[in-house]
Amino acid sequence: MLLTLQGEDLSEFSACPCREGGNNLVYEIHLRNKRVLAKKYYRSGQDPRDRLGAEWSLIVYAIGQGISNVPKPIAKDEENGIGLYEFIEGRKLSTQELNARHVDMAADFFVALNGADRAEYAKEMPVASEACFSIADHCSLIDRRVARLAAIEIDDEAGKEARSYVAEIEKVWTSTKRVIKAELAICQLEPDQVLPSVQRCVSPSDFGFHNALLRPDGGVTFIDFEYAGLDDPAKMAADFFCQPQVPVSADHFERFLERTMFFCDDAEGLKRRARILLPAQKLKWACIMLNDFLPDDAKRRRFANPEAEKSLRKRMQLDKVRVALTALKH
């Protein structure tokens, strides 16, 4: 990676972890005259996704569209899965301080990614991680996530509690699928109907304020695009409100849809689709919260943050699942 910094004064080179990463190792690189950010992306035989390629593609595409509130790419080492980016001065927003202006900034970012000429310039974009283009595909994806949770081992109290939540998730998911089926019938929509390419979006994926930094000037820079690519805009909108790290109030949901879904000629259809999918995506995120109890996913967490206390992390995830399931039942 030092080779990618040719021309820089490396006499005072140092590196230190700059923040906890959920999937990757993230370092702040200090040079004599500036700082940059380095990410070593997680890879394994069980999870071969090209995280570096997805993030790099989205950032290059965004900059090509004139978007400035993303980190500038500096260099990449594809063989070793390392990316080097502009270091952004900023901090994470808390849920308590989020307001309509911040949500509008996120909506505007999505709209900027999906301008009228996106189809021409997005040809080289990969398909987003877990992209789905029919309601049936969304449901099948959640079916698989629920089934994976059967691998959780009951070897301690946390494992027992996790398995009890899995049983609840299964029950709620069964009833949610019935509701989705009924709503599709009312709207005269077929579950296997594939979303036309013109209605697909360039999605930041895993989009939310957990992946954003509030800069000193009051602007917001969006980061972490390792799952990005072409996807269903209804999934993007639902995920934005389902991610549990920095929750966004559901009070902003309709406003967010109004500001984002007009990029194609069937805005009303996309808004209806997002409303139908929202409960399903909430269930999906409840499954994601239990990933720490699965061996392969726990390995990824250890890679990103080797010093983290495993039992504490599991307890935090169980608390999030409890909150999510309580909300779904009301």
Task: Work out the pLDDT band at 16, boundaries 50, 70, 90.
Answer: confident
Report residue 250 as tokens.
């559901």
Is residue 199 included in any domain, yes or no?
yes
Checking if the pLDDT of 294 tops 80, the result is: yes
Question: What end-to-end distance do the CA atoms of the chain give, in Å?
Answer: 51
Q: What does pLDDT average to over the chain?
A: 90
Quick one: pLDDT at residue 196?
92
Task: Please indicate, yes or no, if residue 315 is contained in any of the structural domains.
Answer: yes
Residue 42 lies in a domain: no
Q: H/E element holding 230?
A: strand 229-231
Total domain count, the chain = 1
- Pick the residue with more confidence: 18 or 1? 18
The predicted structure's pLDDT at residue 298? 64
The CATH number of residue 242's host domain is 3.90.1200
Tell me the pLDDT tens digit for each residue of 193-209: 999 988 999 999 999 99
Higher pLDDT, 23 or 274: 274
Helices (H), the chain: 51-64, 100-113, 118-121, 135-148, 157-187, 233-242, 253-260, 267-289, 295-304, 310-328
Check residues 36 and 3 and name the one with the higher pLDDT.
36
Q: Is residue 131 scored above 70 in pLDDT?
A: yes
- Token pair for 305: 């943050």
**Paired tokens of 329:** 């039942």
Reported as a single tens digit per residue, the pLDDT across 48-85 is 889 999 999 999 999 999 999 999 999 999 999 999 99
Q: Which domain holds residue 316?
A: 93-328
Any domain includes 45: no
In a domain, 54, yes or no: no
- The verdict on pTM exceeding 0.85 is yes
Confidence of residue 117 (pLDDT cuts 50, 70, 90): confident
Whether 16 is covered by a domain: the verdict is no
**What is the reported pLDDT for 140?**
98
Please list the alpha-helical segments (H only) found in 201-252. 233-242
The pLDDT of residue 23 is above 70: yes
- For residue 324, tell me if it sits in a domain: yes
- Residue 159 maps to a domain: yes
